[in-house]
Every structure is written in C-alpha cells, then in structure tokens.
Amino acid sequence: MPRKTIEERLAQLDAQKKALKARLSKQERTEDTRRKVLLGAFVLHRLEHGRDEISKGLADWLRRELPGFLTRDTDRPLFDELLKEKQPESGTTEPEPAANDK
C-alpha cells in the first residue's frame, strides 16, 4: 500500500477538523437549548408557585417586557395566558358603589 502524500494527509486532517468542529457546534447548540429550557421551566415554576414579592415582580416585568421581545406573530399566542393580568380572587374585590351613592 503506497504511503499517502502530504497533501492527502493534510486533506484528511482538514476533513477531521471540520467534522470535529461540527460535533462541537452541535454539542454547544444542544447545551444552549437545554439551558434555555431549564431557565424557562424555572421562571414558569416561580410564576405558578412563588408567592413572594420577587415572583410578583417577575410576573409584572414579563408582562411589560415580553411583548416587545416576541417578534413572530406565531409566538405571541404561546404566551397569552402568561401575559394576562391576574384577576383578583373572588371575594377580595371591593363592592361597586350603589347607583344612589353618587
């Protein structure tokens, strides 16, 4: 078997380098996606279960900032429920004044 020329060996090494770069890029994208999913799950958990001021502030901040971040019309419906103002629970609202109380 004849020995490979230097050019052939360089071409083979270049192909290996490209393959390794592609694998690294795929791994980085996978990790980035996982990071985003976990962060989103954490935020949603705080919104659903958090009763402290930070969680309430987070909900207000998201309602204020998220609409400007969502650029695709198809993305907005995914966050409709999240962007709605929470209505006060029944029994906690003040009664409306009677018509003759003017």
- Does residue 63 form part of some domain? yes
pLDDT at 73: 93
Alpha carbons 5 and 43: distance in angstroms, whole number: 57
DSSP structure class, residue 90: T
pTM across the whole model: 0.68
- Does residue 100 form part of some domain? no
What would the 3-class secondary structure string for 8-61 be? HHHHHHHHHHHHHHHHHHHHHHHHHHHHHHHHHHHHHHHHHHCCCHHHHHHHHH
* Number of structural domains in the chain: 1
**Which residue segment(s) compose the domain that 48 sits in?**
34-84
- Does residue 65 form part of some domain? yes
* Chain centre to alpha carbon of residue 30: 14
- Does residue 101 form part of some domain? no
pLDDT tens for each residue of 42-93: 999 999 999 899 999 999 999 999 999 999 999 999 999 988 876 555 555 5
